[in-house]
Structure 1
């Protein structure tokens, strides 16, 4: 499902710009993800979640710092997914001590302000749509194996579509000025670049 497809026309301009301007970054990040491979091992799945853990730990923290509580309509506490990654990793054999020792990112996210934070959040939220395809694959691929409930990829469950739609609508209200659009785009591009770099470290 393409980002923006669930939104009313008046909410699509910035979403369409983000989609167009981040397409190469999105494609490069996706090219180094191995989750859909028929040869995916439990070890490979665990490494992927560990990489996501480092990305979400860094990005969720800086997004929360930049946005604070000034936009409650974004429903930020409901959108954080680091705790879901922790649940999945605990199911795969980690404990709290080993989770605390997981390496962070080699470089910190560059998110200087609210527009860039919204761009980074666009990437995190957009991933929940593609995550539904990945979820179906993982459920089939690891059937009968002790891998937990795939909490991260389940995300909002049946509310994935409505949560994406509400994000797009709020994004337009929070960042209505066209002059700010390039900064939102740059925040999204930076987030995709972080994902690409981290997955290249994991998958080579």
Structure 2
């Protein structure tokens, strides 16, 4: 199923990736902070929806270990946010619908893939902000040395949760919708400040 997901979401993934400009040599600290704020506004509704749909159903997914919102909060606090300013951050109002478990797993596939792909971004950020002014990069350091094992565990849990191939198109649709949400939200948030990203 992971290979099918990768193939069927490739164009959606590529479009979403083009909106993430964290690898730019011109990235500023304010641009980095703005990107984290955007991610916070997207992960908040996505993780809430995933918890509502999946919590307790598949212990092998280890959902509690996969939530990224606390890591984004830690990074944003390191960049000057407090409880009040975090509460005022805009939140994406049109997250993808999750009518069932397969769609929710498609959304989780995108979030877990972002964690895996974030390792490249982490290497760039640590070099780019070598003086440490950007904080500890908690979001991009998620899972530490366990990124690979966590990705493999997700793939195994996905197959156990959706063993019937007839469900694969629904998982794919959930992933495609989530990539589209990433693209739409990041374009919206960053539209007025492209040069700082």
Superposition TM-score, scaled by structure 1 size: 0.92
- The 5-angstrom pairing of residues 1-204 of structure 1 reads 14-204=1-191
Gaps of 5+ in 1: 1-13
- Pairwise CA RMSD: 0.8
| 1:50 and 1:89 in contact (8 A); partners too | yes
1:5 alignment partner in structure 2: none
TM-score, normalised with respect to structure 2: 0.95
Instruction: Structure 2: give runs of 5+ residues left out of the alignment.
Output: 192-197
Deviation at 1:185, TM superposition (A): 0.3
1:108 shift after superposition: 3.0
| Aligned partners of 1:116 and 1:183 also within 8 Å | yes
- Give the superposition deviation at 1:129: 1.3
Segments ≥4 residues shifted beyond 2 Å: none
* TM superposition shift of 1:26: 0.2
**Contact 2:78–2:135 (Cα < 8 Å) also in 1:** yes
1:45-95: CA deviation from partner (whole Å, max 9, x where unpaired): 011101110111111110111112011111000000100000000000111
How many residues end up aligned between the 2 structures?
191
Assess if the C-alpha contact under 8 Å between 1:119 and 1:185 holds in 2.
Answer: yes
Equivalent pair of 2:55/2:63 in contact (CA under 8 Å): no
Displacement of 1:130 after TM fit?
1.0
**Map of 2:195 onto structure 1:** none
Would the aligned equivalents of 1:33 and 1:203 in 2 still touch at CA under 8 Å?
no
